[in-house]
Amino acid sequence: GNSVTQMEGPVTLSEEAFLTINCTYTATGYPSLFWYVQYPGEGLQLLLKATKADDKGSNKGFEATYRKETTSFHLEKGSVQVSDSAVYFCALTEYNQGGKLIFGQGTELSVKP
């Protein structure tokens, strides 16, 4: 079945450091890929998405490229801020699976001043 695997956390970085959170997936068809972010005490909100191979999603300085050949969708940011501290979830969905989101286990990011 479809699945998503993320790097384990927590990840602790200093402000202005470079961020990479790895995400790989297994899917039978052609999924759409997402990164959701959950700030402390809140629900999830979409950070970025990509719907086909080689697409790059970007938002708020974060980027991720849909790599079909390596089945990956790694999240990157060039310079993190304290306000980026949150839990990040990689997810996929396939239209023929009823649009259900399949989530990775989440990666907690803590950014220190």
- Contact residues toward other proteins (CB under 8 A) are 4, 32, 34, 36, 42-46, 49, 51, 89, 93, 95, 98-101, 103-106
Nearer to other proteins, 23 or 111 (CB): 23
Nearer to other proteins, 3 or 81 (CB): 3
Q: How far apart are CA 6 and CA 76, in angstroms?
A: 13
Q: Find, among 110, 108, 98, the residue nearest to 37 by Cα.
A: 108
Nearer to other proteins, 59 or 79 (CB): 59
CB of 51 to other proteins, least distance (A): 5
CB of 103 to other proteins, least distance (A): 4
Cis, peptide link before residue 113, omega less than 30° from 0: no
Nearer to other proteins, 19 or 66 (CB): 66
CB of 8 to other proteins, least distance (A): 9
